[in-house]
Structure 1
Amino acid sequence: MNIYIKINDELIKISNEEGFKNIINLVKNNKLSQIEANKIFQLLEKGLKELGGMSDE
């Protein structure tokens, strides 16, 4: 399954580790703020927890 998010009119594939690196690179290239990236990661983590895919370890 492929999962994409749209950031600044650009589709970013986040269904693998490379996708998370892409988000980090957007921050490094000043195309995305660190606060926005943190919100994306928090939402993804929340969704996984709701699905039972992650623990709080």
Structure 2
Amino acid sequence: MDKEVYGMNIYIKINDELIKISNEEGFKNIINLVKNNKLSQIEANKIFQLLEKGLKEIGGMSDE
């Protein structure tokens, strides 16, 4: 059975600013935060790993 999630928004809070990361633009926001030294590469990698883990748990990604 395929699982689908509708209307899910994921935000991270950095320096009292909420940043939406639940769409393609959000991923660009994370990359820009790293480029502007507002987020470390290690922190960005942790965010991406957590998102990947969550997607695998709900069936949104395969290991391929």
TM-score, length of structure 1 as denominator length: 0.90
Deviating above 3 A after TM superposition, structure 1's stretches of 4 or more consecutive aligned residues are: none
Q: Which runs of 5+ in 2 are unaligned?
A: 1-7
- Larger helix share, 1 or 2: 1
Larger radius of gyration: 2
Q: CA deviation at 1:3?
A: 2.2
Higher relative contact order (CA 8 A, sep 6+): 2
RMSD (Å) for aligned C-alpha atoms: 1.0
Q: Percent identity?
A: 98
Shift in Å, 1:9? 1.6
User: Between Structure 1 and Structure 2, how many residues are aligned?
Assistant: 57
